[in-house]
Amino acid sequence: MQIFITGGTLDKDYHPIQGQLTFEKTQLPEMLAQANLTQPTALSVLMLKDSLEMTDADRKIITESCLNCSDNQILITHGTDTMPITAATLLKHHTQMPEKTIVLTGAMRPFALGNSDATFNLGSAIMALNLTRPGVYIAMNGQLFEAGKVTKNTQKGLFEVTSPSNNLTT
């Protein structure tokens, strides 16, 4: 399994001097250690960005990394605000990599601050990689959503299907 790290709230930490959430380093090695994951895993930090600052050029880097990846199981950590946009971008290119299963996940609260959904979402994404067919998905809130058929409900702080018939967990 290849994990591409792009940043997002999952990887943020509180910077006491600046008084804000910032990126110092990825939290993934600690999260995977806590999870006791035995599956061989490669980690690559592509960027550490808030997804609201992500550009089309950043999405191109993510897409090219997936296209060039020799592994067929790819997990991408990503900020939640534009995760559906990146997933839809990857879906447009999935015909060039039809054997790959790509799952994006993230968190609403930073792992480093505790009381976070980060570990749960990461575990859900890893399970999804191991059990679902090739395609592009988002694993959030204990659900697996198909790319292009999901949105973030900013009022509820949850991901939802854009059509009830498209949720893979029902």
Is residue 89 part of the annotated active site? The answer reads no
Residue pLDDT, tens place only, 46-74: 999 999 999 999 999 999 999 999 999 99
List residues forming the annotated binding site.
Answer: 51, 80-81
Residue pLDDT, tens place only, 12-56: 988 888 888 889 899 999 999 999 999 999 999 999 999 999 999
- Our count of domains for the chain comes to 1
pTM here is: 0.93
Catalytic residue among 6, 9, 86, 101: 9
**Is residue 62 within 8 Å of 104, Cβ to Cβ?**
no
Residue 73 belongs to a domain with what CATH number?
3.40.50.1170
Q: Give me the domain span that covers residue 16.
A: 2-166
Q: What is the mean pLDDT of residues 72-77?
A: 99
| 166 band by pLDDT with thresholds 50, 70 and 90 | very low
List residues forming the annotated binding site for substrate.
Answer: 51, 80-81
